[in-house]
Amino acid sequence: MLSLSNLKHPKGARKTGKRLGRGESSGLGKSSGRGGKGQTARSGGNIKPGFEGGQMPLVRRVPKLGFTSRQQVFGKNRYDIVNLSVLETFEAGSTVDPESIWGRGYGRTASRLAGVKILGHGELTKKLHVKAHAVSASAKQKIEALGGTVELINPHAK
């Protein structure tokens, strides 16, 4: 029967630690597994990542040119580009807004903070009410020529 008086760890669960510095014949004597002399052989002797032994580090040697904004890299200031050929897939007389465009799988997720821009590439044959964050002049002309309307949305308005 198992009780507190006869509890034991499973075999191999408890392992004796390495005993360093107990003579050269033990295999862990003399320098005790720390190699030769120097900073790494001392206690507390750690070397920071990127340290090159006093030589000017690579990150400081390389010239730093220009600047790229985080928004440009992550696409937060880029519009989702939607052409008139995409608007042709919507039903005549319907309202086309960014949610309906994204709902159909058009556009990238990363640029949804900037919004949707409608461009005039392709043909449009239907009257639509378009709500977008930006519209090119040619797209606006083609939409309004068919009797549709264009409404600009402020991307930061909640």
Average pLDDT, stretch 127-134?
93
Average pLDDT, the chain: 87
DSSP-derived secondary structure for 101-150: HHHTT-S-SGGGGT-EEEE--S---S--EEEESEE-HHHHHHHHHTT-EE
Query: Which pair of structure tokens corresponds to residue 20?
Result: 């360093």
pTM attached to this predicted model: 0.51
Percent share of the chain, pLDDT over 70: 90
- Look at residue 112 and tell me whether its pLDDT is greater than 70: no
For residue 114, is pLDDT > 70? yes
Angstrom CA distances, 2 to 5, 7, 47, 48, 59, stand at: 8, 7, 50, 50, 61
Domains of the chain are 70-152 (3.100.10.10)
pLDDT reported for residue 158:
47
> Which tokens is 25 given?
């014949």
Identify the band that residue 75 occupies on the pLDDT scale cut at 50, 70 and 90: low
What Å distances lie between residue 12 and 2, 8, 24, 57, CA to CA?
20, 11, 27, 45
28-45 pLDDT, tens per residue? 999 998 988 988 899 888
